[in-house]
Amino acid sequence: MTAPQNAPAEHSEGGIVVRNVSRAFGQVHAVRDASLDAKPGTVTALIGPNGSGKTTLLLMLASLLRPDAGSIQVCGVDPSIDPLAVRASLGWMPDILGSWSVLTVRSALETTGRLYRMDRRTAAARASELLDLVGLTALATQRTGVLSRGQKQKLSLARALVHDPSVLLLDEPASGLDPVARLDLQRLVRRLAGDGKTILVSSHVLAELDEMADDAVYLEAGVTASADRIAKSKSSSRQWRIRSRDLSGLRASLASTGIAQADILEDRGELLIPLDGDAAAEELLRSLVTSGAPISAFSPAVGELEHTFLDLSRGGAVADPPADGARS
């Protein structure tokens, strides 16, 4: 989980490179200054609260929106200059679930293949593969209009994969999925990354991103957080959760390691302790075990992404003063 720290300005081998991109809709500056790198073979999480500009940024990457300023490279190509080349190598799963409602699931996928200039036979074969891949084979002859939200989500993912793109943009891919489907999605995304694809996943459900993302990009109020700020947030104080059969014994052991009683919170039969960084956690665990406290679980109370995200949000100053909003 490392943010791009020493990212080269350009790497032509593929992936996504975004530098200082901004986009306004009238008076609303949806994206003010976004920079990110997503490398082939990795899953990059795009994290930000609602309205932070995630979807706008993805639309610009998908060659649908023109940035007001800044540069974008998808597989080494600028979507504003050669959108067709970008589209040929890019799969986009939008956050809204539109589908041709009277078409069957299979023919919707075949039609998408045809729109990607496949011939009839190739498109049909690819549709069958994808139905299998996302687990919609049983629903292949249903009209897409009758699908549930989760099923539409799967169809939308399959559609993004029709032309076997090397870059995938997934906008909230897991919303509406049941836990099993969510797990399937995670496995599929990991597998696609293993095949060398560049994957950018946006979400505000951080726990699920924790499971599959290698890198993370934090976006707030249209500005991506710098690597320095992220590093600082990661080392800041966070809650750890300790489970024990003997809470009073645990409290005593904690007191002996020098942790103030006032800092200890009790939550659903477990204790929450604030610690500064992983080193502090290692030290505490070692001394607790040595002291013979009965511990059955010792883990961060919130996921890595969530912690960083919340810390950045609380920091408040992620967004620089919008002086550069008018950059041209």
Which residues sit at the interface with other proteins, rule CB under 8 A?
A: 25-26, 55, 59-60, 62-66, 79-80, 83-84, 87-88, 90, 92, 94-103, 107, 111-112, 114-117, 156, 159
What's the closest the beta carbon of residue 291 comes to other proteins, in angstroms?
A: 57
165 burial level (CB within 10 Å; 0-12, 13-18, 19+): buried
Cβ proximity of 238 and 275 under 8 Å: yes
239 and 273 Cβ atoms separated by less than 8 Å: yes
Distance in Å, CB of 94 to other proteins, minimum: 5
Measured from the Cβ of residue 328, the count of other Cβ atoms closer than 10 Å reads 5
Residue of 297, 255, 212, 223 whose CA lies nearest to 54? 223
In the bound complex, what is the minimum distance in angstroms from residue 83's beta carbon to other proteins? Answer: 6
**Closest by Cα among 285, 263, 283 to 274:** 263
Does an H or E element contain 307, and which?
Answer: helix 304-315
CB–CB of 181/208 below 8 Å?
no
To other proteins, the closest distance from the beta carbon of 15 in angstroms equals 19
In 204-300, DSSP assigns E strands to: 215-220, 223-224, 237-243, 265-267, 270-276, 297-300
- Minimum Å gap between C-beta 107 and other proteins is 8
Residue placing its CB nearer to other proteins in the complex, 56 or 308: 56
CB of 172 to other proteins, least distance (A): 12
In the bound complex, what is the minimum distance in angstroms from residue 158's beta carbon to other proteins?
12
Looking at beta carbons only, is 35 or 55 nearer to other proteins? 55
Please give the Cα distance from 177 to 187 (Å, whole number). 14
Among residues 9 and 84, whose Cβ is nearest to other proteins? 84
Nearer Cβ to other proteins, position 114 or 204?
114
Nearer to other proteins, 100 or 146 (CB): 100
Instruction: Pick between residue 83 and residue 325 the one whose CB is nearest to other proteins.
Output: 83
| CA distance linking residue 201 with residue 173, whole number of Å | 7
DSSP state of 69: E
Nearest residue (CB) to other proteins, 88 versus 205: 88
Q: Which is nearer to other proteins, 38 or 118 (CB)?
A: 118
Q: How far is CA 170 from CA 44, 159, 178, 279, in A?
A: 10, 11, 17, 35
Question: Residues with Cβ < 8 Å from 8, sequence gap 6 or more?
Answer: none
Q: Taking the complex as a whole, how short is the minimal distance between the CB of residue 126 and other proteins, in angstroms? A: 13
